[in-house]
Amino acid sequence: MKFRFAATALAATLVVGLAHAQTELPQPATPAPAAAAPATVATPPAPVPSVSKAWILMDYASGQVLAGENVDAPLAPASITKVMTSYVIAAEVKNGKVKQDDQVMMSERAWREGGAGTDGSYSGFPVNQTARLEDMEKGMAIQSGNDAAIALAEHVAGSEEAFASLMNSYAAKIGMKNSHFVNAHGLTAEGHHSTAYDLALLGRAFVRDYPETYAYNKVKEFTVGNIKQPNRNLLLWRDGSVDGIKTGHTSAAGYCLMSSAQRGDQRLIAVVLGGASEKQRADDSLALLNWGFRFFETHRLYEPGKNVAEHKVWKGKADNVQLGVAQPMLVSVPRGRYNDLKPTIDVPKTLVAPFTAGQQVGTLKVTLDGKVVAQAPLVAIAAVEEAGFFKRLWDSFWMWWESE
């Protein structure tokens, strides 16, 4: 009898919780009797780059990987490194460490190691003269100036070596677990590497955190003195939805491209590493972006502060705790599959007060065809304080009874 009573109570609690979770996701509409069911076909595979060492396509809003190969392989990122440099500088500006109108010196070292005398890309700022930090940033982002990257690193951190330490610290905060930077420009160096996945995370963080600085990457050309140079990202001329991000090339890295495009409310990020030519990396990147926009859509499932589920609480002033998410929960799914999403909650059988607002209580998972496509911590929306002595004593008795 005790077991049957406890099981019935528990089942009722879980059913209520799941019912609350599922109400946020409308079920497929029932077609009219006379209407034929639409034919459905599987999403075709992503267009694999013809030549690459690694590649990835990521949804910006949710961070989901839509497709990719060798996404965690450590590879030379070439000048895509400068996106990390741009991110660090934007962060340091925001933190008040440097200013956009600072005068940045084009040092002898920056000019010799990254200037016109080298076989790499350069900005054209004259040696031993200064330029505004914002202009130097544009020379790095648009012209891919190695000299500008070194000069900026020296200005921000005192030396390029110290700046590389900043790069690695910020990379760790972004979640780039398989990256390590030793310079600000991306020329081949021992120990300097990243991955397609990490670089996609970086691109996502750059767009989200510093959109004004990110916008430099869509400028098609930049002039320093009498030197006008075009942006090397060919996609800026091919597709109006593309607004970045950065190209890269060395003999060791091959031709690389981190690209991003926004169509309507949807943004995608593609990274292709180790391509064979400028044209090929652009062709393959655009094919990936087009595939992603054509066959996937992004949805906001739950908003912070909204009740997703409700669960029984023992020894609390309230009998139940309302559960929700702390951050917007988004998911990318093949087009037309939204109504097939299945939400479930994973919450401990017994919850005992107190709970603070925002405290994690369980996990919310969303599956499609049995595969988890999104999950998030399930937190208490409001605090549940501990009850008085007699209610705690009474609940202790019933907890013991139901455990028998």
Token readout for 141 is 């982002």
286 and 344 Cβ atoms separated by less than 8 Å:
no
Compute the half-sphere exposure of residue 367: CA atoms within 13 Å on the CB side of its CA. Answer: 8
62 close to 298: Cβ distance less than 8 angstroms? yes
What gap in Å lies between CA 128 and CA 123, rounded to an integer? 14
3-state secondary structure at position 146: helix
Positions annotated as catalytic residues are 79, 82, 144
- Alpha-carbon distance 238 to 208, whole Å? 24
DSSP for residue 215: G
Instruction: Transcribe 357-403 into DSSP letters.
Output: TT-EEEEEEEEETTEEEEEEEEEESS-BPBP-HHHHHHHHHHHHHHH
Burial of 367 (0-12, 13-18, 19+ CB in 10 A): middle
Q: Name the DSSP class of 316.
A: B
The DSSP element (H or E) to which 223 belongs, if any, is: strand 221-224
Quote the CA–CA distance of 378 and 363 in Å, as a whole number. 5
Cβ atoms 301, 366 nearer than 8 A: yes
The annotation places the binding site at 246
Three-state DSSP class for 112? Answer: helix
Whether 47 and 340 have beta carbons less than 8 Å apart is answered as: no
Task: List, as residue ranges, the binding site for substrate.
Answer: 246
Helices 2-23 and 389-403: crossing angle in degrees, nearest 10, is 110
Phi, psi of 79 (to 5 degrees): -75, -5
